[in-house]
Amino acid sequence: MKDRFSNTKPLKIAVVGTGISGMSSAWLLAKSHKVTVFEQNDYIGGHSNTVTAYDNGDRIPVDTGFIVYNEQTYPNLTALFNNLNVQTMVSEMSFSASLQDGGFEYSGTNLNGLVGQRRNIFRPRFWRMLRDIQRFYREAPRFLCSNSDNAYTIGTFLENHNYSESFINDHLIPMGAAIWSTTVEEMKNYPLNAFVRFFLSHGLLTITNRPVWRTVKGGSREYVQRLTESYKKDIRFEKVLGISRTSEGVEIKTRKNEAEIFDHVVIATHADEALLLLEDPSAREKSLLSTWKYTKNHAVLHNDPNLMPKRKRIWSSWNFIANGKADQNEKVCLTYWMNKLQNITESKPLFVTLNPNEMIKGEAVISQHEYTHPYFDTAALESQKDLWDIQGLNRTWFCGSYFGYGFHEDGLQSGLAVAEQLGGMSRPWSSIDMNDRIILRSFNPAAA
């Protein structure tokens, strides 16, 4: 297959980063070009990070970052898994909130979970929350149809429309903070348009017809191994120190080797990291990439039930935990019940907690990890409209989940789209919504 830039030989391409964006881009490019992949961590996969837990000699694969997807809103990930023959199984997605040290708890699993704390039936606070949940389901989609202003935030909308404090602080903001792994205050500053669009597409503004969620059988490492099989010998566990564009090509500098020249580079890192790597960023690259901010989250795989709701009948797949009066700028404390999410027998309780708000017993800790998530504010979302304009300029390409909503499908879409425009090949599937989560423009090779 011919590529866009050469009629005689494959391109020599560097890919920096092995999250879903880098892995997928390298996978497609490696079909026709010479790809070298750089990874600073000691494992491949980014947020696709499976850890083995042990129980009486049994090996239990547990995901600590990427966990679930659905076929409705993850079309490319679904197609990729089918292409790689990755086995998946049905998961369960449910949400609970445990507030004020367990003084107020509920879950949305079913009626028993909703009134899992029986005194909720007698609380006006609880009924105000339920009333406004139904109201938000009705009103939010109407606003999306009549407004396209990214400067209008979810917090402003809730205040202007007189939503109750119980709905805001006990339900919507905790759920949003859990989804985007951000603080309560940052969640209130999230642009309403993007918030509602995401909730609509994921069936979160309706009680019925919600998508069926799935998880990878054996953990996400199963798909990582298959996705990287064709180019695993070309992966270097080396930290890239700098990237400069020269008349000869793109120069990659690492700790282990002297500078090496490539025809093109795909920077599949977070936006802020991409900007730091560029030794000679253009004014346009600076303007767009510097807009992005990120939140670091500490993830702990453990078996301590103290980081779950006090009442077990309220336990859900996702559990928002707040002790005492929550600090608006405090990182979200969220516990994933991995037994429920990955169909693991409950005889061995396993949890992944983001940003634990109390000490986990040392003997209960299995592994600890640091994950970084993009923070979506008005400036960041505005920059998305122009991100594709810098693709290919100075032989440099960018991809990552920040091109969309910050999730696996977004990173995958951007990685595949970059590979297609750079390498001249197409992904081995097609659907009308395969680029629906990123703002994509055609590429002009002459400009590169």
What pTM was computed for the model? 0.93
Identify the CA nearest to 243 among candidates 283, 216, 275: 275
Residue 442: closest CA among 4, 42, 149, 107 = 4
Distance CA 314, CA 158 (A): 27
Query: Which among 91, 125, 327, 320 has a CA at the least distance from the CA of 220?
Result: 91
CA distances 319 to 184, 322, 358, Å, are 15, 10, 15
Per-residue pLDDT tens for 413-428? 999 999 999 999 999 9
Query: Where on the phi/psi map is residue 112: left (φ > 0), alpha (ψ -120 to 50), or beta?
Result: alpha
CB-based contact 377:316 (threshold 8 Å): no
Instruction: Tell me which residue of 436, 392, 390 sits closest to 412, measured CA to CA.
Output: 436
pLDDT band at 122 (very low <50, low <70, confident <90, very high): confident
Q: Please say if the pLDDT value at position 75 is more than 50.
A: yes
Rounded Cα distance between 262 and 11, Å, is 8
In whole numbers, what is the pLDDT of the chain averaged over residues?
91
Q: With 70 as the cut, is the pLDDT of residue 198 above it? A: yes
Measured CA to CA, the distance from residue 165 to residue 188 in angstroms comes to 13
pLDDT in tens, 13-55: 999 999 999 999 999 999 999 999 999 999 999 999 999 999 8
pLDDT computed for residue 142 by the predictor: 84
Q: What is the CATH number of domain 12-47+219-292+378-447?
A: 3.50.50.60
Say yes or no to pLDDT of 444 above 70. no
Per-residue model confidence as pLDDT tens digits over 288-303 = 999 999 999 999 999 9
Q: What is the pLDDT of residues 377-416, one digit of tens each?
A: 999 999 999 999 999 999 999 999 999 999 999 999 999 9
Residues 6 or more apart whose CB falls under 8 angstroms from that of 376 comprise 180, 190, 191, 194, 405, 406
Domain boundaries, the chain: 12-47+219-292+378-447, 94-209+305-359
Please, are residues 438 and 410 in contact by the beta-carbon 8 Å criterion?
Answer: yes
Average of per-residue pLDDT across 345-371: 94
